[in-house]
Homo-oligomer: A and B are copies of this chain.
Amino acid sequence: MPAALEVLRERMATIYDLVAMRSLLSWDQQTVMPPKGASGRIAAMRTIGQIAHRMFTDDETGRLLEAAESEMANGASSEIDAALVAVTRYDRDRALRVPPSLVSEMAEAAGEGYEVWKVARRESDFTRFQPVLERNLQLRVQLAECYGYSDSPYDALLGIYERDRRTEEVRRIFATLVPRLRPLVERVSESRDEPPGILRQQYPLQAQHEAGLEILRMLGYDANSWRIDTTVHPFASSIGLSDIRLTTRFDKNDLADSLLSSIHEFGHGLYEAQVDPALDRTPLASGCSMTLHESQSRFWENMIGRSRPFWGLALPVLQRHFPEQLGNADSETLFRAVNQMQPSLIRIESDELTYGFHIILRFELEVDLIEGRLAVSDLPEAWNSRMKEYLGIDVPSDRQGVLQDVHWSEGGIGYFPTYLLGSVLSAQIWNRMSEDLPEMEVAIAEGSFAAIRDWQREHIHRFGRMYTPVETIERAVGGPLDPEPYLDYMEKKVDMLYGSVGAART
């Protein structure tokens, strides 16, 4: 291996270790840390973040990177080495564009914003939140100017979560979705089906934990390199390619909430677990973008976890853990119960169909705010009128409306669209995978997930960040993001659950 490249690789490995340890600090903080450890933890996380940032942006890394680029230009190099240098260059150029003062100011605004938001949400008091959001927006506009953009400053913010993703393209995709998803929402809204209460019985937490773990193990969870804990807000974290940590929450009156949330996080975890070990301790060793990550979590949560064959598989497991509650249940009832669709106020409690509108609404508002067409003071009204337009419901309070999500309090603008783009991509992946694995539904019914995991590893996971998101998506599904498979999937699912348009309802 050429000399500069080797030294650069070693330096990036050190930075990788620091970033991984920052993930561990964060996992520990959210999962096991005694509450009073918080102040020391904030200091330690800042320290480790600063050291990593300084090491990455200092002149020594710059010199090594240039020397490595010269070495690459002068001779053959492996594809991994080429990607290592290219991704380091991309990340470093972006890191250098943002002045440290802006980084600190954003971190401070995020910390304070989060605290203000918690109170504002509790008291449903948007005016309290308004100055926080205004400050966050102003800082994000500054950040967008640092990164640069061609059409909209929002492009630059999208780019934080997915490189090269453009506002115009997201707008076009969402514009295709809206007119075809709205009739579906109307159909489920008009349905008079009573929601089956089967999921809403008393489900003791310990049994939920054990049943969930048994099901995760069938999917591919392995206690040798994974763990799962309980937190208020579930998340997945990879401390290393062989140290994957999921969290879940439990509701003693709801069987599906913890299970589907665990399966969602499993999808995130599996992505990181199946990155090529040859990429370990390089900046390539992680998921490629948030859209790709969400495509994996939503694939496992929705395409598998909300499928009919899955509930055929899960029923006997659940019956063993909940003989009283489910002794007489059939899998079709469970399948229909977890696919109940109905417009509702809260994004994270919404169903697979209406979820999309929660995202589209947020995307549109974010773009309007960042492009200066919407004043923060007018945001609640804009939120409420779009909720009426898209989902036909009135928002009774800002607590259940514009104040419900944490993202804006911390300046996380540009993140929301990746949730829905992930769903769009997951349907493309399902179709493509079905061509290679025609017996997929049978495999799910039998609990044979190895072929699915292998397909994902082979076509997506192992590459990590070796290719750009556009290239990675192209490799996975043979083309760019395309809303058609997702629309087909949703239309078929609504037909299946709520009958075809015009079909007689019984």
* 28 A-B residue pairs with CB within 8 Å: A14-B47, A14-B51, A17-B44, A17-B47, A18-B48, A21-B21, A21-B25, A21-B48, A24-B24, A24-B28, A28-B28, A32-B32, A32-B227, A33-B243, A34-B223, A34-B227, A34-B242, A34-B244, A35-B224, A36-B242, A36-B243, A39-B242, A40-B240, A40-B241, A40-B243, A41-B243, A43-B281, A51-B51
Q: Which of A16-58 contact B (CB under 8 A)?
A: 17-18, 20-21, 24-25, 28, 32-37, 39-41, 43-44, 47-48, 51
Answer yes or no: A226 CB below 8 A from chain B CBs. yes
**Residue in B closest to A241 when the chains form the complex, CB atoms:** B40
Cross-chain contact B41 with A240 (CB below 8 angstroms):
yes
Which of B32, B36, B48, B243 touches A224 (beta carbons < 8 Å)? B36
A227 to B243, CA, bound (A): 22
How many copies of this kind of chain does the complex include?
2
Answer yes or no: A13 CB below 8 A from chain B CBs. yes
Answer yes or no: A239 CB below 8 A from chain B CBs. yes
User: With contacts A17-B47, A21-B48, A32-B32 known, is A40 near B224, CB below 8 A?
Assistant: no
**Residue in B closest to A40 when the chains form the complex, CB atoms:** B240
A84 to B280, CA, bound (A): 40
Answer yes or no: A225 CB below 8 A from chain B CBs. yes
Contacts A32-B32, A34-B224, A40-B240 given; 15 further ones with Cβ under 8 A?
A13-B47, A21-B21, A21-B48, A32-B227, A33-B239, A34-B225, A34-B244, A36-B224, A36-B225, A39-B242, A40-B239, A40-B281, A43-B281, A44-B240, A51-B51
A394 to B32, CA, bound (A): 46
**Residue in B closest to A27 when the chains form the complex, CB atoms:** B28
Cross-chain contact B32 with A44 (CB below 8 angstroms):
no
A20 to B290, CA, bound (A): 32
Shortest CB-to-CB span from A54 to chain B, Å, is 11
A36 to B245, CA, bound (A): 12
Which residues does chain B contribute within 8 Å of A24, judged by CB atoms? Answer: 24-25, 28
Which residues does chain B contribute within 8 Å of A18, judged by CB atoms? Answer: 47-48, 51
Which residues does chain B contribute within 8 Å of A51, judged by CB atoms? Answer: 14, 18, 51
Which residues does chain B contribute within 8 Å of A240, judged by CB atoms? Answer: 37, 40-41, 44
Which of B25, B40, B43, B280 touches A40 (beta carbons < 8 Å)? B280
Cross-chain contact A239 with B17 (CB below 8 angstroms):
no
A36 to B51, CA, bound (A): 27
Cross-chain contact A21 with B44 (CB below 8 angstroms):
yes
Shortest CB-to-CB span from A246 to chain B, Å, is 11
A24 to B21, CA, bound (A): 10
A428 to B396, CA, bound (A): 69
Which residues does chain B contribute within 8 Å of A36, judged by CB atoms? Answer: 224-225, 242-243
Cross-chain contact B243 with A37 (CB below 8 angstroms):
yes
Which residues does chain B contribute within 8 Å of A13, judged by CB atoms? Answer: 43, 47
**Residue in B closest to A280 when the chains form the complex, CB atoms:** B40
User: With contacts A34-B226, A224-B34 known, is A17 near B48, CB below 8 A?
Assistant: yes
Q: Which of A180-205 contact B (CB under 8 A)?
A: none
Which residues does chain B contribute within 8 Å of A44, judged by CB atoms? Answer: 17, 20-21, 240
A239 to B47, CA, bound (A): 15
How would residues 215 to 242 of chain A score, 1 for a CB under 8 Å from any chain B CB and 0 otherwise? 0000000011111000000000001111
Cross-chain contact B227 with A40 (CB below 8 angstroms):
no
A247 to B113, CA, bound (A): 37
Shortest CB-to-CB span from A118 to chain B, Å, is 19
Cross-chain contact B281 with A239 (CB below 8 angstroms):
no
A128 to B281, CA, bound (A): 35
Point out which of A17, A25, A35 has the most chain B C-beta atoms below 10 A from its C-beta. A17
A35 to B222, CA, bound (A): 11
Shortest CB-to-CB span from A62 to chain B, Å, is 19
How would residues 470 to 501 of chain A score, 1 for a CB under 8 Å from any chain B CB and 0 otherwise? 00000000000000000000000000000000
Which residues does chain B contribute within 8 Å of A281, judged by CB atoms? Answer: 40, 43
A281 to B41, CA, bound (A): 11
Shortest CB-to-CB span from A167 to chain B, Å, is 38
A48 to B37, CA, bound (A): 20
